[in-house]
Amino acid sequence: MRLHQVAIAERFANVPRTYRLRGLGATVYRLGVPKPDAPWWHFEAYGTIKWGSAANGASKLVEDFIETNYDAMAPASQ
């Protein structure tokens, strides 16, 4: 892994492994959490009525993930 990838992986490691998108009607599911050999989160979104609902769910997930975990993932102040 490159140095900057290691730094990013370390930030993602600060996010609690129990993170899940909460809310009614969420069509996004957590499938995997970071591990030493795969330092990323794995989510899946699907749509039941229209194709756009999967994209809306993914967008909601990204917004919530950042809002909920911003402090944990933010680099330390210099």
Domain boundaries, the chain: 3-73
- Give the count of beta carbons closer than 10 Å to the beta carbon of residue 14: 12
pTM: 0.65
Q: Is 9 helix (H, G, I), strand (E, B) or coil?
A: helix
Residues in the chain predicted with pLDDT less than 50, given as ranges, are none
Look at residue 24 in the predicted model and tell me its pLDDT. Answer: 58
Cα–Cα distance, 64 to 23 (Å, whole number) = 10
Look at residue 2 in the predicted model and tell me its pLDDT. Answer: 64
Residue count of the chain: 78
Look at residue 21 in the predicted model and tell me its pLDDT. Answer: 75
